[in-house]
Structure formats: structure tokens, C-alpha cells
Amino acid sequence: MADFKKSVVYQIYPKSFYDSNGDGLGDLKGITRKLDYIRSLGADYIWMTPFFVSPQKDNGYDVEDYYNIDPRYGTMEDFEELSREADRRGIRLMLDMVFNHTSDRNQWFRKALAGDPEYKDFYIFRKGKGPGIPPTNWESKFGGSAWEYVEAFDEYYLHLFDVSQPDLNWENPRVRAEVQKVLRFWMDKGVKGFRFDVVNLISKASFEDDFEGDGRRFYTDGPRVHEYLRELNEATFGTDSEIITVGEMSSTTLENCFGYAGEDSHELSMVFSFHHLKVDFMGNEKWVMVPFDFQKLKNILYTWQTEMANHRAWNAVFWCNHDQPRVVSRFGNEGKYWKESAKMLATVIHCLRGTPYIYQGEELGMTNAHFTSIDQYRDVESLNHFRILQEKGLTEENAYQILQIHSRDNSRTPMQWTDGPEAGFTGGTPWIQVNENHDRINAEAELADEDSIFHYYRRLIELRKTYDVIAYGDLEPLDIHHPSVMAYKRNWQQEKLLVVCNFYGKELTWQAGEDVAEYSCILGNYPQQQRDGGSIRLRPYECMVLYRKG
């Protein structure tokens, strides 16, 4: 059985990872060529965002054909080679499955639009409330109405995301059977992990106007979602104890996640939740400029850590992915303390209770892109909101400042392999511009430097495999209200771990509340830790991992 508690997952956005043929797009052969790099880091699984046939309106999260590889990424033979070569290195593959919606070019939706009643019931069509008035006032997560009018039917279809991404109707058992069929196909190819995109949105509660928000309370963690996941588990991945699963849970609740990822709930291995990544939002509004709320960040992380443990449920722990800005730009310091803050942020996540996920380039300390022209952006959400922000009265300069902070393109710039042309990502013209700082932030330089962020991540992964307290221990928050420090204890049998992290650029003395002389420092981002009795002197962005047995 896969021990996902001791495992680490490395996430790849194939389009931006490595281009093997010079067309400017990363591909499957590119991943195969870089497997030794991932093995040297120590990751156990590679999660790849979708590479299925897709018109790429939402970078592959609009799937046209679940059974075939998009030619821009390669062929099925390329996938099978990647699978074999990964297996040879002890690495398993995790595929990203998008089952809340399809592309509007999927054959199911094409048949629906052609009037086939069987396939029309694969999606959610509703009559409007009147001429030109959609069934509800729900907003798409990408801006605008969540409903699109189809004149031939005088009906609207639901799309919680882009207009080209119609939502599937999970109430229809035929839809659920087709989804199961897709999973079994990839299981037969040797896939040992699945990540399910926005899977807690698959059960819609009721179709009514939302006068309090954007509609999400009527489709998030819906009434049959647990039933659907148990059914999916029993029919597919639950039949193979080596398969691990993770659900992306949009705007979810703790209580639902006890079920999604409970030890005995027979749904998923673990969940992604995003509440801790909204601490630089204003309410649920992402497209604003506000400093992150450190106290709120700690409160959310600690609540999820302790409550999930109390209910024997498991978290996926992470800062970064293809939908989030770079963490060192977001909660760290890109300038003077770039290396120290990147290592500190890594320490926070990798010592928590949960399976850590590393997003490509995070282990190098890659930063936000700081694009200054809308022509440099590619993401549909960013392009929409650049327009929406200006319609709301913001200047173009302010709109750019917000995109530079929050755009998903910040995480999608090409992987920085070398200081050479296009960061060694491609021999051609990359699909999105390479970050200009690749001359100093790149894999080649960091592999050669034992003090690099890359080698620090490698040591964090080794610690998880070496010390059971990191994989299995409970978590006890310490000094919760300290304005600059995040500290917590992990306890497992006779092992104790004390993790102390300074989130800011000022030196301070922190009181541990116990004599820390009996602890040995097994990892830190500065040489020679400064400890005296119960006092720990922390330099800017300093972190330390202290351990004792007995």
C-alpha cells in the first residue's frame, strides 16, 4: 500500500516544464528527459496538469478527449515511455482529472448541441427566467454570468468556469459511468495517482438566485458529493491500494473535508483546501492589493491541521501550484532575503501534518513574472479581469499592479533550467515569456551550490522519510498570537519536533516556553543557531527544525 504520509508529490505544468522539440511548448518527452532531476530532489510522485486533447481555452482544463494525448504534448507512446522511465526510477505518475466540466468541443457536448436528448442530459440546461434573463444570477469564476444562452433550445447551459467549459450533470448515472470508464482506462496504463479538479462542485444543490454572493453556496459541497465520491472510489481507484488520490476543494468547509479525506470514509486519500491562500484577498475578492494577514494565515493553517487530525483526515499541504502566484513573492522577500525566506516558507509546509506538494520551480525559489504589458499575459482569467478592473474605474497602472500580484501566469512562466537563452527551456520561442531573473535563479546554478534552495528542499524531503514524527505526528500550535513568528510542535511516540519560523525581515528573540538545550537542530536556513535556555534568537526570515527523542 502506498504510504502517502511519507511521500512528496512534485507538480508539473507540462506546457512550461521542458520543451524537447523546440516548438516553444513543454511536452511529455521533456518530462522524461528531466526525470533524473526529480529523482535527485527525492519526490515520489509526479502530478501533471492535463495533457489530454483540448482547445486550451483554460490551459487544458477544458478536456475535449479524455482518452488521447494532445499532439502538442506528444503521443500515447511518449506517455507510455514516461511511465516506464518514471517507474524505473521509483517515481509514480498522478494524472489530473477534470470531471466537473468538459470542453464545449467534447463529443458529448457536440451531440448535446445537435439536439441528442441522451447527451443533452450529460449537461445542465435550464430555461431562463424571462427573455434575456438567465436561470440564476450566478457568476462564472472567470467573470460574467455562469449561464450561456443556446438559441436553438431557448435554454441556457451552466458553466461555472469559462463559457467553453460546460458543467457535467452528475445526477445522470450515465455521466458517472463514463467518468469511471475514463479512470479505469488510465489505471490500466499503470497510473498510480489521481488529482480531481474542483471535485467538490460536482453536486449542485438548487438553482436559485444568490442575493448574498456569487452563487457558490448553491453548488459547493453539494448534497450528493460524498455519495458520488464513494461510488467512484468503489468502482475504480479503491480497487488498487497503491493508488493515491487528492481532491481540489474549492471554497470548501472543514466538516466536508473530514468526509472527503477521512481514514474510513472511502472517498479520497487527501484534500487541497485554499483558505490559507486567501489571506491577501479582501473577503472572497482576489483582484485587490492588500498585504497578507499573517495572523489569519496562522489561524487557518492551525485550525485545519488540528481539526483534520482530530477527525483522522489527511491534508495535502502546499503553497504553490499552477493557479497560485509564487510564494516567495507572495509571503516572502524577493530581494535581500530571497534565499532565506524561500527556505523558511518551505520549512513551514514540509514539517506540517500532511503530504507536501512542490510546484515546479518552487524548489528553486522562482518568483512572480512582473509583466508590464497585457500582451505578455496568456491566462483567460487575467485577461478578463484586466478589462473588468478598468471597467470598475481602476487605472491601467493599478490593474497591472494587481495582475503582477495575483495572475495565474506568475506560476506558468517556463521552468528556469539554465542562465542561457530562454532559461534552457526551449530552443524556440516560448509560449509565454521567460522570467528575466533566470540569469541568477536556475536549476543548473542551484544544483552546483550546496547552500541553494534546491538542496534545502532535498533535505526537507529526506527528513520526512527519516523521522516518523514528521509523517505521523500530531501538531500543537505554539505562541499563536506572536506578530512575527510561526511555531509549532509535532509529537509522535518518543519523538518531538519543534519548528520555529520568523516570517519577517527583522531580528527578534522568541521564548520557547521550555529549555531547548536538549533539542538538536536537524535543519535551519542560517549557520550556527542562537539558542540560550528557552530563548531563541531569530534573524530575518530565520527558521529552524529542532528534534529530540525521549
Summarised one tens digit per residue, pLDDT across range 98-137 is 999 999 999 999 999 999 999 999 999 999 999 999 999 9
Q: Say if residue 439's pLDDT is above 90.
A: yes
Q: Do residues 175 and 252 touch, judged by C-beta distance below 8 A?
A: no
- What one-character-per-residue DSSP string does 122-179 give? TB-EE--SBTTB-SS-PBPTTSSBSEEEETTTTEEEE-SS-TT-PBB-TTSHHHHHHH
Average pLDDT, the chain: 96
| Integer Cα distance of 7 and 244 in angstroms | 10
Which parts of 377-528 are beta strand (E)? 474-478, 485-492, 495-502, 508-511, 520-524
Reading the block at residue 327, the C-alpha cell is 510564494
List % helix, strand, coil for the chain (3-state, nearest 5).
35, 20, 45
DSSP 544: E
Q: pLDDT exceeding 70 applies to what percent of the chain?
A: 100
State the Cα angle at 267 between 263 and 273, rounded to 5°.
85
Cα→Cα distances 243→2, 119, 236, 237, 268, Å = 7, 31, 10, 6, 10
User: Which residue type is seen at 402?
Assistant: I
Rg (CA), the chain: 23
Q: Do residues 522 and 546 touch, judged by C-beta distance below 8 A?
A: yes
Q: Say if residue 1's pLDDT is above 80.
A: no
Confidence of residue 2 (pLDDT cuts 50, 70, 90): low
- Residue 285's pLDDT is 84
User: Which residue type is seen at 510?
Assistant: W
Reading the block at residue 232, the C-alpha cell is 467512484
Q: List the catalytic residue out of 62, 197, 379, 381.
A: 197
| Integer Cα distance of 79 and 33 in angstroms | 12
| Integer Cα distance of 85 and 46 in angstroms | 12
Query: pLDDT by residue (tens digit) across 148-180?
Result: 999 999 999 999 999 999 999 999 999 999 999
Query: pLDDT by residue (tens digit) across 220-267?
Result: 999 999 999 999 999 999 999 999 999 999 999 999 999 999 999 999
Reading the block at residue 425, the C-alpha cell is 527551456
109-115: which pairs have CB atoms within 8 A and are 24 or more residues apart? 109/166, 112/166, 113/150, 113/152, 115/152, 115/153
Q: Say if residue 304's pLDDT is above 70.
A: yes
Q: List the catalytic residue out of 44, 104, 162, 248.
A: 248
Cα distance between the two ends of the chain = 30
- Residue 331's pLDDT is 97
Reading the block at residue 371, the C-alpha cell is 509583466
- Residue 522's pLDDT is 97
What pTM, to 2 d.p., does this model score?
A: 0.95
Q: Is 439 part of the annotated catalytic residue set?
A: no
Q: Is 334 part of the annotated catalytic residue set?
A: no
Min mean pLDDT across 138-147, 239-248, 283-292, 497-506 is at 283-292
User: How does strand 155-158 pair with strand 193-196?
Assistant: unpaired
User: How does strand 530-532 pair with strand 535-538?
Assistant: antiparallel
Q: Which residues contact 73 (CB under 8 A, 6 or more apart)?
A: 14, 15, 25, 26, 27, 28, 51
Q: pLDDT exceeding 90 applies to what percent of the chain?
A: 93
Q: How many CB atoms lie within 10 A of CB 419?
A: 15
Q: Say if residue 358's pLDDT is above 70.
A: yes
Mean pLDDT of 404-421: 96
| Integer Cα distance of 149 and 157 in angstroms | 7
| Integer Cα distance of 216 and 196 in angstroms | 18
Reading the block at residue 170, the C-alpha cell is 452528475
